[in-house]
Chains A and B, each alone.
Chain A
Amino acid sequence: MTATVTSNAPAEASAPTQLTMAGALNAALRDAMAADDRVVVYGEDVGPLGGVFRVTEGLQAEFGDERIWDSPLAESGIVGTAVGMAMYGMRPVVEMQFDAFSYPAFEQMVSHVAKMRNRTKGRVTLPMVVRIPCAGAIGGVEHHSDSSESYWASTPGLTVVMPSNPADAYSMLREAIESDDPVVFMEPKSRYWSKAPLALPVTTAPMDRAEVVREGTDVTLIGYGPTVRTALEAADAAADEGLSIEVVDLRSLSPFDDATVGASVRKTSRAAVIHEAAQFGGYGAEVAARVTERNFHHLAAPVLRIAGFDIPFPSPKLEEYHLPTPDRVLAALDTWEWDA
């Protein structure tokens, strides 16, 4: 098989322009497809429509329907065929359209995508990316707002990442496509329209690293995807009351960046993790356990979880009551005994 791999970076960086996260993801797909003809994109409605969130807009016109095409409506089929494509040396990037639509593909993800390298003793690797638009706060009806990250993150063999801003969205998607291992690339829908001035191509920190996105000395707030903004808003509000909050954007859920999180927690001695998914058995439980196991003697208080209720994701008119808010974050911090 022949493949053309050209330089990953265009010769010249563009001037900074205001770019949404959806636009950054679109640019990342375009640049990845231009750089490597093994990259193919498919899923439901990704062709002429450009995806229901317009992340694939214009790509079929540019690359043709042998590089990007609409698949039949079947998530297990999309992921399962991507396994075969990746086995043949392609680098498929497939879309699940909405978080809860990925569940029919659960068996392919868990039994094959995650395990193929291991089953075959490293002889078959799957360089594929499964894009999953995720989480709520967009007024979606049922099955359109789930946070499925802990299912994937607790599956050995998968790499699970979630950007929170346009720069990371571009850089992390490029890196995910170049990865020789399968990557679950989760895109927080409520952040698709967030803008940042960006000169492409942009390279941010490696996708397996957490980042301190706001420095502080009293508390470490750990968020990812949509809840990084929640954490930053809580930190702003707390600053008015004289509380200095450090915010860590995990970026990668699996692997977990113990070093960055641990360094922050040892500095502040207090930590809380924020996510939209239900608390019970959720990703925050893993964060709290890891932080505690490795930093117990540096902690002045128990690690807190600020999460969605332990309920199925609610209807759009009720989701505001369910989602973690900056006020809830601050209220949770108030439960600590600060003088102890």
Chain B
Amino acid sequence: MSLNVEHVSTRTLPSEKPLRLLDNAGHAVTGAATGGFGLPDTETLLGLYRKMVVARRFDVQVTALTKQGRLATYPSAYGQEACEIGSVAALTAADWLFPTYRDTIALLTRGIEPADILQSFRGDWHNGYDQHAHRTAAQATPLATQALHAVGLSHAARLRRDPIVALTFLGDGATSEGDTHEAFNFAAVWQTPTVFVVQNNQFAISVPLERQTRAATLADKAVGYGMPGYHVDGNDIAAMYAVTRAAVDRAREGGGPTLIEGVTYRIEAHTNSDDPTRYRTARDVEHWKRRDPIERLEKYLVSEGALTEAMRTEIADAAEALAARTREVMTTEAELDPLELFDHVYGRERSALVEQRSALEAELAAGAFAGHQGAAR
């Protein structure tokens, strides 16, 4: 696998045609279009394939549960599996991930349990998993704010001489936010081990890319900050993995930050409360469905004789088992303690919160909320 990126000049604009290692028909790409990156080995690709299939099934299951009213909201990542998983798979367990609200399947790839991942979308608490154990920050809802956290954390790690990289996801819309600029600039000036992955899924809710930027590619922006930028086919997980892996290795070796744009498409609505038929055509959606990231890799692996029918069955069974487990935990009501509302605001006791806690406790004792278990449901 060729991951040598020494030749990359930070003043060279990314290619306008997205870099790819597998074409839409699942054929290995050769020549200039690969940007000098090599196709990951078959075992790596099989692992990525499995992760994508399982994540897709999970996403479909959660969307169904949302329609049944089991989740307050869910931003689907259907169609973005290559971006999400290809990037995250390039990290080690010691590296940190700074995800956004759409990156649920990236959390799954980090080994976080469905019940913990979905706690926030169900409405039980803002975040349900252990950040330090999984080296995964809480999903950020304000756009681009978490990119600065990734820069700060990776800078701190570097000051401590810890070989840790932080990767953060941004959407195409988020690149218009001021914090994106500040994060890119701080990372480049401080040469922090940070990897920025922009998942360009073409729409910020309903606003298309051409109303978000006049830049030829979002990866072009890297040049202005003095860091390498890559314009990548975001539905080609081989390319997303190889490019991210190179950026992660380079960051770990003190080479500073990298911006990677994965060009992809959000097949589902923004969230369950969105109506995408108002801003895009069925024809567009069909066009992108034919560029499915899972089918592409599957065609390649089958043509290579690497993916057998038995393996497909085994992977499908694993995906079904996860979906079943997800259904089970999401149809079980979590025990919520209203008094915990006061437990995680400050580290030291505050008399005002002690008083308010007592007042709620008295109301609960008096049966003021009897029969209620969360207003949202």
Chain A residues within an 8 Å CB radius of B150: 84
The distance in angstroms between the C-alpha atoms of A90 and B156, with both chains bound, is 7
Which of A80, A115, A256 is packed against the most chain B CB atoms within 10 Å? A80
Q: Which of A26-34, A120-128, A196-204 contacts B (4 or more CB under 8 A)?
A: A120-128
Residues of B within 8 A of A115 (CB): 126
Per the 8 Å Cβ criterion, residues 108-130 of A in contact with B are: 108, 111-112, 115-125
Alpha-carbon gap, A86 to B132, bound state (A): 13
Q: Nearest chain-A residue to B141 (Cβ)?
A: A111
CB of B149 closer than 8 Å to a CB of A? yes
Q: Which residues of B contact A179 (CB under 8 A)?
A: 347-348
Which of chain A's residues have a CB closer than 8 A to the CB of B189? 72
How far does the alpha carbon of A66 sit from the alpha carbon of B347 in the complex, in Å? 28
Are B162 and A1 touching (Cβ within 8 A)?
A: yes
Flag the segment in B85-93, B175-183, B304-312 that touches A: B175-183
Encode A46-83 as 1/0 by CB contact (under 8 A) with B: 00000000000000000000100001101011011111
Known: A117-B344, A256-B352. A87 touches B179 (CB 8 A): no
Known: A121-B127, A123-B130, A255-B352. A84 touches B155 (CB 8 A): yes
Contacts of A95 in B (CB 8 A): none
Residue numbers in A under 8 Å from B152 (CB-CB): 80-88, 92
Complex CA–CA separation, A52 to B237 (angstroms): 50
Nearest chain B CB to A160 CB, angstrom units: 12
Asked if A117 and B145 make an inter-chain contact with CB atoms under 8 angstroms apart, the answer reads no
Given that A104-B178, A258-B351 are contacting pairs, would A119 and B142 also be in contact in the complex, using a CB cutoff of 8 Å? no
Given contacts A84-B155, A85-B152, A112-B145, A125 and B186 within 8 Å (CB-CB) = no
How far is A278 from B335 in the complex, measured between Cα atoms in Å?
45
Among A80, A84, A157, contact of B346 (Cβ-Cβ < 8 Å): A157
Pair B347/A107 contact, Cβ less than 8 Å? no
Interface string of B92-116 (1 = CB under 8 A from A): 0000000000000000000000000
Write out the residue numbers on chain A whose beta carbons fall within 8 Å of the beta carbon of B345: 117-118, 156-157
In the complex, B131 has a CB within 8 A of chain A: yes
Residues of B within 8 A of A86 (CB): 152
Give B152-173 as 1s and 0s: 1 = Cβ < 8 Å from A's Cβ atoms. 1111110110100010000000
Q: Any chain B CB within 8 A of the CB of A180?
A: yes
Selected from B126, B156, B178, B186, the residue in CB contact (under 8 A) with A71 is B186
Q: Fill in one digit per residue for A178-196: 1 if any B CB lies within 8 Å of its CB, else 0.
A: 0111000000000000000
Rounded to whole Å, the gap between the CB of B254 and the closest CB of chain A is 14
**B137 interfacial contact with A, CB 8 Å:** yes
CB-nearest residue of chain B to A77: B182
Is there a chain B Cβ closer than 8 Å to A140's Cβ? no
A207-262 contacts to B (CB < 8 Å): 208, 255-256, 258-259
Residue of B nearest to A124 (CB): B131
Of all chain A residues, the one with the shortest Cβ separation from B152 is: A84
Q: Is B350's beta carbon under 8 Å from chain A?
A: yes
A97 contacts the other chain (Cβ, under 8 Å)?
Answer: no
Give chain B residues whose Cβ lies under 8 Å from the Cβ of A90.
156, 159
Residues of B within 8 A of A88 (CB): 152-153, 156-157, 160
Does A159 have its Cβ within 8 Å of any Cβ on chain B? yes
A153 within 8 Å of B (CB atoms): no
- Interface residues on chain B, size class: 35 or more
Is B127 in contact with A74, judged by CB distance below 8 angstroms? Answer: no
B130 / chain A contacts, CB cutoff of 8 Å: 123
Tell me whether B323 is interfacial, beta carbon within 8 Å: no
* Measured CA separation A81–B162 after assembly (Å): 17
Interface membership of A316, Cβ < 8 A: no
Least distance between A254 CB and chain B CB atoms (Å): 9
Residues of B within 8 A of A116 (CB): 138
Cα A127 to Cα B152 in complex, Å, equals 14
Closest to B341 in A: A118
Chain A CB within 10 Å — which of B149, B160, B179 has the most?
B149
Do residues A83 and B131 form an inter-chain contact, with CB atoms below 8 A?
A: no
B369 located at the interface, meaning its Cβ lies under 8 Å from any Cβ of chain A in the complex: no
User: CB-nearest residue of chain A relative to B348?
Assistant: A181
* A72–B185 CB distance below 8 A: yes
- Tell me the complex Cα distance, A119–B344, Å: 8
State whether A108 touches B148 (Cβ < 8 A): yes
Most buried by B among A74, A156, A256: A74
The chain A residue with its CB closest to the CB of B346 is A181
Whether B160 and A1, one on each chain, are in contact in the complex, defined by CB atoms closer than 8 angstroms, is yes
A255 CB contacts on chain B under 8 angstroms: 350-352
Of chain B, the residue at the smallest CB distance from A206 is B348
B151 CB-CB contact with A under 8 Å: yes
Pair A80/B127 contact, Cβ less than 8 Å: no
CB-CB under 8 A for A74 and B151, given A108-B145, A125-B347: no
Partner of A84, one of B156, B178, B343: B156
CB <8 Å contact, A122 and B145:
no
- Asked whether any CB of chain B lies closer than 8 Å to the CB of A177, the reply is no
* Structural contact, B138 and A111, CB atoms closer than 8 A: no
Contact B125 A121 (CB under 8 A): yes
Contact B151 A81 (CB under 8 A): yes
A77–B138 Cα distance when bound, in Å, is 19
Known A77-B148, A77-B183, A124-B138; judge A85-B178 contact (CB<8 A).
no
A238 → chain B closest CB, angstroms: 31
* CB-CB contacts below 8 Å: B112-145 with A: 125-128, 130-132, 137-138, 140, 142, 145
With a cutoff of 8 Å between Cβ atoms, the chain B residues found around residue A2 in the complex are 160
Knowing A77-B185, A89-B156, A181-B348, the reply to whether A84 touches B127 (Cβ < 8 A) is no
Are A66 and B148 interface neighbours, CB within 8 A?
A: no
In angstroms, Cα B159 to Cα A82, docked, is 13
Q: Tell me, yes or no, whether A172 is within 8 Å of chain B by CB.
A: no
CB distance from B224 to the nearest CB of A (A): 14
19 contacts between A and B (CB under 8 A): A2-B160, A66-B159, A71-B186, A72-B182, A72-B186, A74-B182, A77-B151, A80-B183, A84-B149, A88-B156, A108-B179, A111-B142, A112-B145, A118-B126, A119-B126, A121-B127, A124-B132, A124-B137, A255-B352
8 other contacts beyond A77-B151, A87-B153, A118-B345, with CB at 8 A cut-off? A71-B186, A72-B189, A80-B147, A84-B154, A121-B344, A122-B343, A123-B131, A255-B351
4 closest A-B pairs by CB: A84-B152, A80-B148, A81-B152, A77-B182
